[in-house]
Amino acid sequence: MIDVRLLRTNLDGVRSALARRGKPDLLVQVDEAVALDTRLREISLERDTLRAEVNDLSKQVGALRRDKKNDEAEALMERSRAGGDRERVLQSEIDTVQDALQQIMLRIPNLPHPDAPDGAGDHENPIVKGPINLPATFGEHQRVPHWETATALGILDNERATKIAGAMFTMQRGLGATLARALCQFALDQNADAFEEIRPPSFVTTATLTATGHLPKFADDAYAIERDDLWAIPTAEVPLTSLHAGEVLDEAELPVRLMAYSPCYRREAGSAGRDTRGMLRAHEFDKVEILAIARPEDAPELLTELVGRAEALMAALELPYRIIEICTGDMGGSHHRSFDIEVYAPGCDAWLEVSSVSWFSDYQARRADIRFKRTGQKGTEIANTLNGSALAVPRVWAAICENHRQPDGSVRIPDVLLPYMRGATHITPKA
């Protein structure tokens, strides 16, 4: 969440930054937060003043009793008890106001970076690089949707996936499953030079999901296990971000660099009926995530690095791709600055988002209470977090099936994946 102190010291700046998101209701929430914060400070001051008076009265009562002035002591005791009763009333109001303020602050999104492009929605996201590897023309054999190719090759069986688990679940078979696994291992291997591999839990607590900004806003899109107060992770970003929750890191430890393969679970409640064929949209999918915890001054360079790493994977897979920057009107609630990498799928005739790389400033780290201590200085600071999809399997898998489809209907395996494919160089129809 944003620092509540900004509402006191730079309210105009907060309002101006949030206005760039193009959602007027956000400014109403800010006004509500300011009113609650003001009330909270007023009653906290009253409580603290009263508490000091009660403590002083208690000392006076003690002195009067030692001097055998019991009547005067009893009179002061009455005042002390009344003050104590009032203090408890104020504390109850403080708890109520504090909780209300916390709930509003959790819903107020991050402030966009000054360099983030302004725009009303995804149609205004500027292309900042590319297209790269985009041929002048595609062959007719590449204009076949991946779900038709995959079904003909016997590597995608969504019909049985639906029978087993319901709509919007997918199932790869044979070399299709091998290809999915190969993509994950390839992404891990390519980032192992600088990132520690983690295999995090696939289920997390409410507090953990709140730390990344997925709660309370996206509760309807998440899978909840109410009996155990657990949530299925929508991305490995969630457990990785909270790996150091409530901790103070030494400056020398930063940046912390983590990566993880994990299954990801999303209800996609707002996406019913969209992209339901093939591998484009599913309730469960595999992804490799890369994440960094850093000093604020190191975050811009890390953002560039993370984008570069995700881009390098698409280039190595010989896929046509482009990089777009997310405008303020399309930016996620936790995001400070974001870039997406999209690959072109000729069979779908569409650019598919395959990676999102974001800098969250101190928004997530404040929620998770991740701090660091600068060498030789007193006190601590809130860290910055960044993360990116190194490789999300479904759409990359689909793009490979379309871009690398051969005239005979087979799919050529990109060279960089050959070490993971048990000797297969092509996926061909079963005899």
For 1-44, what is each residue's pLDDT tens digit?
Answer: 999 999 999 999 999 999 999 999 999 999 999 999 999 999 99
Same domain flag for 387 and 243: yes
Which residue type is seen at 377? Answer: Q
Q: What is the pLDDT of residue 274?
A: 53
Same domain flag for 168 and 301: yes
Same domain flag for 237 and 304: yes
- The span from the CA of 100 to the CA of 94, in Å, is 10
Same domain flag for 155 and 89: no
CATH number at residue 198: 3.30.930.10
In this structure, is residue 158 part of a structural domain?
yes
Same domain flag for 396 and 310: yes
In this structure, is residue 116 part of a structural domain?
no
**Domain termination site, one of 49, 79, 107:** 107
In this structure, is residue 268 part of a structural domain?
yes
**Domain termination site, one of 84, 107, 130:** 107
Same domain flag for 91 and 195: no
Q: Is the pLDDT of residue 168 over 80?
A: yes
Same domain flag for 334 and 409: yes
For 311-328, what is each residue's pLDDT tens digit?
Answer: 999 999 999 999 999 999
Supply the DSSP string of 245-283, one letter for each residue.
Answer: TT-EEEGGGPSEEEEEEEEEE---GGGTTSS-STTSS-S
Tell me if the pTM is above 0.85.
Answer: yes
What range defines the domain where residue 91 resides? 5-107
Same domain flag for 140 and 250: yes
Provide the pLDDT confidence category of residue 275 given band limits of 50, 70 and 90.
low
In this structure, is residue 112 part of a structural domain?
no
In this structure, is residue 394 part of a structural domain?
yes
Same domain flag for 63 and 135: no
Same domain flag for 80 and 147: no
| Token code pair at residue 379 | 């006190």
Q: HSE on the CB side for 120, CA within 13 Å?
A: 0
In this structure, is residue 117 part of a structural domain?
no
Same domain flag for 334 and 238: yes
What count of other Cβ atoms lies within 10 Å of the Cβ of residue 89? 13
In this structure, is residue 336 part of a structural domain?
yes
For 252-263, what is each residue's pLDDT tens digit?
Answer: 999 999 999 999
Q: What is the pLDDT of residue 276?
A: 67
CATH number at residue 24: 1.10.287.40
Same domain flag for 259 and 127: yes
**Domain termination site, one of 107, 142, 177:** 107
Domain count, the chain: 2
Q: What is the pLDDT of residue 270?
A: 45
CB 216 within 8 Å of CB 207 = no
